[in-house]
Amino acid sequence: MAILRQIVVLGGGGFSMEPRNPLLDDYILRLAQKRRPRVCFVPTASGDSLRYINRFQRAFASRAEPSHLALFRRNVTDLKAFLLAQDIIYVGGGNVANLLAVWRLHGVDQALRLAWQRGVILGGVSAGMNCWFEGCVTDSFGPLAPLPDGLGLLPGSACPHYDGEKERRPAYHRFIAAGIPAGVAADDGAAIHFVGRKIFRCVSSRPSAQVYRVRLIKGTVIETPLPTQFLGQASG
């Protein structure tokens, strides 16, 4: 059987933002096709926040085999073996610029690329969305700014929190007009499931949450909504 290379990116939501709404996290867990998949949380972007790690453990303990990878006080010797043994690797939010620098110092970037190539499901929220693309919109430096040197597993650029922070949408439009690659934006509560480097499905934990493709066409930034499936039960 061909190996599926899968990444699920959340513009916002999941256990850290919607603790009473597990729809997006459940979607990711189902992809592993196991009763209790092995899920590794990578909290680098938050400086390995213990509070964040504990929230992850509480959220996943009843439905998975959770673990975490700490790098500020490193808890794993053989990073490659540890990450390749997972079914799912879930990257938390925080500072994506710091995350990328620390990952590259420890060789996590290379281990994650290999894990993806071997079929481990990758994903994450906010910084954990941005890191997989060639570039992104980030507040890592204070004001929103473009960051051009992501891991590049996914093509183009990314913008999370598209509806959750009022400056995100206009900033992303400005940066694309100024020359960063075209890309995708996701509202809080929306997720994009990539198979290989192509979008397979867009899903949401909120009825109104949406995913967009954002491009520069003949000098004008064009925002195109993509079909986004609400994972809950529609009312009415």
Is 49 noted as a catalytic residue in this protein? no
42/92 Cα distance (integer angstroms): 6
Q: Which residues of the chain have pLDDT under 50?
A: 235-236
Catalytic residue among 126, 140, 204, 205: 126
> What is the spatial distance between Cα 9 and Cα 175, in angstroms, rounded to a whole number?
21
Kindly state whether residue 88 falls inside one of the protein's structural domains.
yes
User: For residue 81, is it within any domain?
Assistant: yes
Residue 100 dihedral angles phi and psi, to the nearest 5°: -65, -40
The first and second tokens of residue 152, run together, are 């590049």
CA distances from 54 to 16, 49, 78, 202 (A): 11, 9, 23, 28
What count of other Cβ atoms lies within 10 Å of the Cβ of residue 191?
30
Give the total number of structural domains in the chain.
1
Q: Which of 16, 67, 140, 161 does the annotation list as catalytic?
A: 161
Is the pTM of the predicted complex or chain greater than 0.75?
Answer: yes
Give tens-digit pLDDT for 141-183: 999 999 999 999 999 999 999 999 999 999 999 999 999 999 9
Which residues form the domain of 30? Answer: 6-230
Two structure tokens written together for 205: 């934990």
Q: In terms of DSSP H, where are the helices of the chain?
A: 23-31, 50-60, 79-84, 96-106, 108-117, 127-130, 168-178
pLDDT at 123: 98
Question: CATH code at 153?
Answer: 3.40.50.880
1 assigned to some structural domain:
no
140 in active site? no
Question: Is 170 a domain residue?
Answer: yes
